[in-house]
Amino acid sequence: MANQAEPPTAYRFDTQRVRAGYEPKDHNYAVSPPIYQTVSYDFRDVENAANLFGLREAGYLYTRIGNPTVTTLEERVKTLDGAAGAIALASGMAAISYTLLNIAEGGGRILTSPYLYGGSKDSFKKIYPKFGIRFDYAQNIESPEKLSAEIRPDTKAIFVESISNPNTVLLDIDLIAEVAHEHGIPLVVDNTVATPYLYNPIAHGADIVVYSATKGLNGHGNVIAGLVLESGKFHWQSEKFPQFSEKYYTLRDINGSLRTFPEVFPDAPFIQRIRFNYLNYFGAALSPFDAYLAVIGLETLSERLAKQSYNALKIAEYLSSRKAVEWVRYPALKGSPHYSLYERDYPNGAGGILSFGFQGTQEQREKLLNSVKLFHYHLNIGDARSLIVNSPQTTHSELEADEKAIADIPENLIRISAGLEDLADLIADLEQAFQAALI
């Protein structure tokens, strides 16, 4: 089984998260990537314009589809993930929606894990069926050897989260990828919680990786952003994906012959089809300033995720000792049903997210949340600050009772996103909140 993938150059991960995708000499020797706050770009001459529109020359036309600051973010994350192509978008939900629309354009089914972010699941129910795309929640996602029976003739992809939110479920991505490829469909992995520092889905067989860069990649709670990456290994020109065999006038060659996306972009046709179709016309463009914030956040990725993973494990151990805690879910906690996968696939830690079941009344649970002083009570995860929230009533409140049951989200679940504060202070804050709640 593959472990952490080495970047595709001589430089290792911690060098690449600071340096990849940016060369100071190409930007007036600015050490920090400039913010190219411009809508459009002058052409050198008429020939340059024709070459850019004809995709015969690399360059920039309009910031909606490409910007030098945004490119730095794309290239940096592409390098960290060992991907063939990357595109940055205005949010993680844009990354998910453009990915699934690009895959199942014209209709089809997506086989998905039941352990997903609430917004993803709610959108699967409300939005995609109106576009002819339907979702099947796999009953055997944790037993991949049985998964083939759940793939239908019109299934277009398998969609999972590497570390699920809020239950921190780990899956055997390697085996799930094998099943997907046996059936000629791609595996899409939402790697938001793990980030490439903790887990590299492409090294484990994933074809598409999506991120909400709002979370751990940026890590400072000050930007909304998303990314899509592709491995470059999946064969898109098959009968199951006829949209990738479509020839476009906008992709014509110098002789006027129409071409397909795989013909023009053989290394990353999936990403470029998103860029020139979905991003171009649906318009969820990431601003240069937000891209800059995400790039700066990446520079401290390893240090942040390492300490957040440490703090999360110690908080999980503390919670396990509390009588008012019914259960604790964290993969690195000995006794977790996912501990063996954690040991095999997550050498750098299991991330900052954990959840626990509060053993008390609703009134006491709410008193606990109202009594924290250091933890922030809000929805985000992966922040430098420690956060706490009652997920069933907030982040997953869109889910109906049966959907919560399928996702194993009981009403007493409380989610913690461990930050970078001193561990002793965090545990002391939880302790005083427990005492206040249980008086």
Q: What is the reported pLDDT for 313?
A: 98
Distance between terminal CA atoms of the chain?
Answer: 50
Long-range (24+ apart) CB contacts under 8 A made by 96-100 are: 96/120, 96/123, 96/190, 96/210, 96/226, 97/123, 97/127, 98/228, 98/274, 98/278, 98/279, 98/282, 98/284, 99/188, 99/208, 99/210, 99/228, 99/274, 100/128, 100/133, 100/157, 100/159, 100/188
For the 13-297 domain, the top CATH level (class) is alpha beta
- Note if the pTM is more than 0.85: yes
**Among the ranges given (262-271, 314-323, 361-370, 393-402), the one the predictor scored with the smallest mean pLDDT:** 393-402
Instruction: State the DSSP string of 197-233.
Output: HH--GGGGT-SEEEEETTTTTT-SS----EEEEE-S-
300-346 per-position pLDDT tens digit: 999 999 999 999 999 999 999 999 999 999 999 999 999 999 999 99
Can you name the CATH fold of 301-437?
Aspartate Aminotransferase, domain 1 (3.90.1150)
Q: What is the reported pLDDT for 7?
A: 44
Which three-class secondary structure string do you get for 36-90? CCCCECCCCCHHHHHHHHCCCCCCCCECCCCCHHHHHHHHHHHHHHCCCEEEEEC
- Residue with the two structure tokens 């302790």: 431
Q: Are 379 and 364 in contact (CB under 8 A)?
A: no
228-243 per-position pLDDT tens digit: 999 999 999 999 999 9
Residues forming beta bridges with residue 189, ordered by sequence position? 160, 209
Mean pLDDT, range 103-119, rounded to an integer = 96
**Among the ranges given (2-6, 67-71, 316-320, 404-408), the one the predictor scored with the smallest mean pLDDT:** 2-6
Strand 155-161 and strand 187-190: the pairing is: parallel
Mean pLDDT, range 271-281, rounded to an integer = 98
Q: For residues 88 and 297, give the distance between their C-alpha atoms in angstroms, rounded to a whole number.
A: 15
232 closest CA partner among 77, 85, 75, 76: 85
Which distant-in-sequence residues (6+ apart) come within 8 Å of 251 by Cβ?
Answer: 55, 258, 259, 260, 261, 263, 264
Domain spans of the chain, in order of start: 13-297, 301-437
Backbone angles phi, psi at 252, to 5 degrees: -65, 150
The amino acid present at 311, given as its one-letter code, is N
**Across the chain, what does the average pLDDT equal?**
95
286 closest CA partner among 274, 302, 303: 274
Write the burial class of residue 290 (CB in 10 Å: 0-12 exposed, 13-18 middle, 19+ buried). Answer: buried
Q: Are 188 and 208 in contact (CB under 8 A)?
A: yes
Q: For residues 62 and 39, give the distance between their C-alpha atoms in angstroms, rounded to a whole number.
A: 6
Q: What order of strands is seen across the sheet that includes strand 85-89?
A: 85-89, 226-230, 208-212, 187-190, 155-161, 108-112, 133-137
pLDDT tier for residue 6 given thresholds of 50, 70 and 90: very low
Q: What is the reported pLDDT for 398?
A: 86
Backbone angles phi, psi at 340, to 5 degrees: -65, -40
Residues forming beta bridges with residue 88, ordered by sequence position? 227
Q: What is the reported pLDDT for 399?
A: 87
378-412 per-position pLDDT tens digit: 999 999 999 999 999 998 988 889 989 998 999 99
Instruction: Please state, for a pLDDT cut of 90, what percent of the chain lies above it.
Output: 94
pLDDT tier for residue 9 given thresholds of 50, 70 and 90: low
pLDDT value at 8 more than 60: no
Q: What is the reported pLDDT for 221?
A: 96
Q: Are 227 and 242 in contact (CB under 8 A)?
A: no
The helix/strand count (H/E) of the chain reads as 16, 12
pLDDT value at 269 more than 50: yes
Distances (CA, A) of 24 to 28, 63, 112: 7, 21, 42
316 closest CA partner among 193, 167, 191: 167
